[in-house]
Structure 1
Amino acid sequence: MASSFDSYQKRRLQSSYVSVVISIALVLFMVGVLGLVVLKSTKVANHFKEKVAMTLFLKDDVTKKQLEGFRASLIKEPFTKKVIYITKKEAAKAYSKDIGEDFLKFLGKNPLKNGIDIYINADFVTPKKMTELENEFSKNAFVSEVSYDKPLIQLLTKNIKRISFWLLVLSGFFGLVAIILINSSIRLSIYSKRFNIKTMQMVGATKRFIRKPFIWQSIKLGFLGAFVALLSLAGLIYYVDAYLPALDLIKDYITLGYLVGGVLIAAFIITWLSTYFATQRFLNLQTDELYY
């Protein structure tokens, strides 16, 4: 009879552990997906920002030697992503192709100027910094005019701020949900052992001594749940990368490193805190309060 009861208790305990691992895995998978979106959204935003070019139209009297020196100085600047020199002849060909006819036949001469397209690093693509660069280049002795798409910069900055704000709100919401769900699962698991906790306390065990095995057990379950979540995330990333190779998910080792580290750290912190406060609650209860 005692053997049957022990077997029943063991199965019940194992079932409780499985439910905790599944709950942790599901929640961490959800958090991991959101984290991936957040990390990739920054990269995607930077990708679009770095497509923005500032064009410097050069004066006609700039010599080849001066041009080479100017280009070399631009490449060394921290705001420079890439520098492309476009001659007035190349610009005329491109413009003729855009409008569908050779405008030089009507004008007789090329009114365009030699230019340098500077593709800006993402950190400098803001209305304020672009205006500062424009003012700086306007004072340059080699530059006759500075041109870039100001409305596009303002629109990009506005939309990126808006998206970042809502992603932050969504991250906070899912983070709270994750803590609540994992905390509830761990509390239910510890609730089944509340009499064992009180018995240990009554025979003189300290709170720290009682909490320690529960915390370690929960951390193990948390890491097991994190492992399951990471396997699921790996499958999702492989699937998405097959259909959207432009995102370059599998080869983005930095993002994947942050994702793995974030999931493992979240599993450790949430399970540790949840177990600590759950055991603390039962340690502070009176014996007659354990039945309610």
Structure 2
Amino acid sequence: MQSTRKKKLGGYPALGVVTSITLALFVLGLFGTLIIYSNQFGKIVRDNLNVKVFLKSTLTETQRNQLERTIGSKQFVAKGDNAITFVSKEEAEKDLIKQIGDYKEILGENPLKDAFIVKVATEFQDTTSLRKVKSELENMNGVLEATYEKHLFDEVNKNFTKISIALLILAVLLMVVTFLLVNSTLRIALFSQRFLIRSMQLVGAKKWFIQWPFLFRAISYGFLSSILASALLWGFSTYAQQKITDLSLLHNQEHFLALLMILSVMGIIVATVSTFFAIHKYLKMSLDELY
């Protein structure tokens, strides 16, 4: 005896919808992870950009300590314990000998100067701000000269600006593609329910009464898809970090958890909005258009 299965309001196929939304969110999550890694790499590069402040030979230790405190109080200095590092001329000499060998036969006395290596805060790393930083440092008592690798700063700023703009454009495009993909999947899934929706209309059911079961199912599918996508992304990220050791240096746990939260919210919103518009379309169709 052949059994017949009644169609239930809001009961459209789950497997295809959940799979499509999960894969779309997973791809979007991979791109989001790439953005996190790119930003973290930029932060590491910028943290290693610094200004070298050469000190006058007449500076006493007390004056040097006072100068360090003065520099440390400035807004352009990056936050952290190692924002200012003192390098004595003796330490600098040892590094120079390692690089070029013993130079004393040619130059005689150590020509190097005591110096502070100052890490500059990110917001002061543009060309205009760096000029002001250099000028402000050189006007301090006890400072002989302040120098920085202008070409390196300019290249970093230019390249990371280009990368940021490119990633932003790609992120917007990918979000649009994700929405269109999920929207198309849900429209196809709801196609089998179009006559049931019309039947409910004919017996006098209100629009909200017809829409609610579909929207509730969409919320649950979106939430389930986001959980699955987050689990896949977490597993992939963990596996990648185990295989590529240096990748862990670019992994920011707080930003990654924020990304998973965004995917969860986005999964629910995209599924719900797409379902709403799809149902609204079928509610407005005439009987002839349903065939």
Question: Given the two structures, how large is their TM-score scaled by the length of structure 2?
Answer: 0.92
- Deviating more after overlay: 192-201 vs 105-114: 105-114
Q: Is the 8 A contact 1:241 1:250 kept in 2?
A: no
Q: Distance in 2 between matches of 1:149 and 1:65?
A: 29
Bigger relative CO (Cα 8 Å, ≥ 6 apart): 2
Question: Taking structure 1 as reference, are residues 84 and 250 closer, same or farther at Cα in structure 2, changes over 3 Å only?
Answer: closer
Question: Taking structure 1 as reference, are residues 42 and 201 closer, same or farther at Cα in structure 2, changes over 3 Å only?
Answer: same
Q: Does 1:130 align with 2:130?
A: yes
Q: Does 1:222 align with 2:232?
A: no
- Supply the AA of the counterpart residue of 1:48: V
Q: The residue matched to 2:4 in structure 1 has which SS?
A: helix
Query: Per-residue displacement from partner, 1:112-170 (whole Å, max 9, x unpaired)?
Result: 11111112233332222222211211211221111111000111011101111111121
Q: Does 1:143 align with 2:143?
A: yes
Q: Does 1:87 align with 2:88?
A: yes
- Aligned residue runs from structure 1 range 97-112, under 5 A: 97-99=98-100, 101-112=101-112
- Deviating more after overlay: 199-208 vs 260-269: 199-208
Which ranges of structure 1 fall in alignment gaps of 5 or more residues? none
Q: The residue matched to 1:145 in structure 2 has which SS?
A: strand
Q: Does 1:170 align with 2:156?
A: no
Q: Distance in 2 between matches of 1:247 and 1:89?
A: 36
The number of residues matched between the two structures is 285
Report the counterpart of residue 213 of structure 1 in structure 2. Answer: 213
1:178 Cα deviation after fit: 0.4
Query: Per-residue displacement from partner, 1:167-220 (whole Å, max 9, x unpaired)?
Result: 112112211110011001111111111111111112222212211111110111
Report the counterpart of residue 266 of structure 1 in structure 2. Answer: 266
Q: The residue matched to 1:4 in structure 2 has which SS?
A: coil
1:24 Cα deviation after fit: 0.4
Q: Distance in 2 between matches of 1:249 and 1:17?
A: 39
Question: Taking structure 1 as reference, are residues 92 and 250 closer, same or farther at Cα in structure 2, changes over 3 Å only?
Answer: closer
Q: Distance in 1 between matches of 2:193 and 2:164?
A: 44
Which consecutive aligned stretches of 4+ in structure 1 deviate over 6 angstroms post-superposition?
none
Q: Is the 8 A contact 1:241 1:249 kept in 2?
A: no
Q: Does 1:50 align with 2:47?
A: yes
1:45 Cα deviation after fit: 0.4
- Aligned residue runs from structure 1 range 1-292, under 5 A: 4-6=3-5, 16-81=13-78, 82-99=83-100, 101-248=101-248, 252-291=252-291
Q: Distance in 1 between matches of 2:152 and 2:249?
A: 27
- Deviating more after overlay: 19-28 vs 74-83: 74-83
Question: Taking structure 1 as reference, are residues 35 and 127 closer, same or farther at Cα in structure 2, changes over 3 Å only?
Answer: same
Q: Distance in 1 between matches of 2:90 and 2:249?
A: 41
1:104 Cα deviation after fit: 2.4
Q: Distance in 2 between matches of 1:268 and 1:185?
A: 15
1:251 Cα deviation after fit: 6.9
Question: Given the two structures, how large is their TM-score scaled by the length of structure 1?
Answer: 0.91
1:243 Cα deviation after fit: 2.1
- Supply the AA of the counterpart residue of 1:33: L
- Supply the AA of the counterpart residue of 1:103: Y
Question: Taking structure 1 as reference, are residues 247 and 210 closer, same or farther at Cα in structure 2, changes over 3 Å only?
Answer: same
- Deviating more after overlay: 20-29 vs 267-276: 267-276
Q: Is the 8 A contact 1:237 1:249 kept in 2?
A: no
Question: Taking structure 1 as reference, are residues 132 and 243 closer, same or farther at Cα in structure 2, changes over 3 Å only?
Answer: farther
Question: Taking structure 1 as reference, are residues 17 and 250 closer, same or farther at Cα in structure 2, changes over 3 Å only?
Answer: farther
Q: Is the 8 A contact 1:238 1:250 kept in 2?
A: no
- Supply the AA of the counterpart residue of 1:72: R
Q: The residue matched to 1:85 in structure 2 has which SS?
A: strand
Which ranges of structure 2 fall in alignment gaps of 5 or more residues? none
* Identity between Structure 1 and Structure 2 (%): 30
Q: Is the 8 A contact 1:222 1:268 kept in 2?
A: yes
1:105 Cα deviation after fit: 3.1
Q: Distance in 2 between matches of 1:196 and 1:289?
A: 14
> Alpha carbon RMSD of aligned pairs, Å?
1.9
Query: Per-residue displacement from partner, 1:241-284 (whole Å, max 9, x unpaired)?
Result: 11223332797321221111111111011111101111110111
Q: Distance in 2 between matches of 1:67 and 1:91?
A: 17
Q: The residue matched to 1:5 in structure 2 has which SS?
A: coil
- Supply the AA of the counterpart residue of 1:113: K
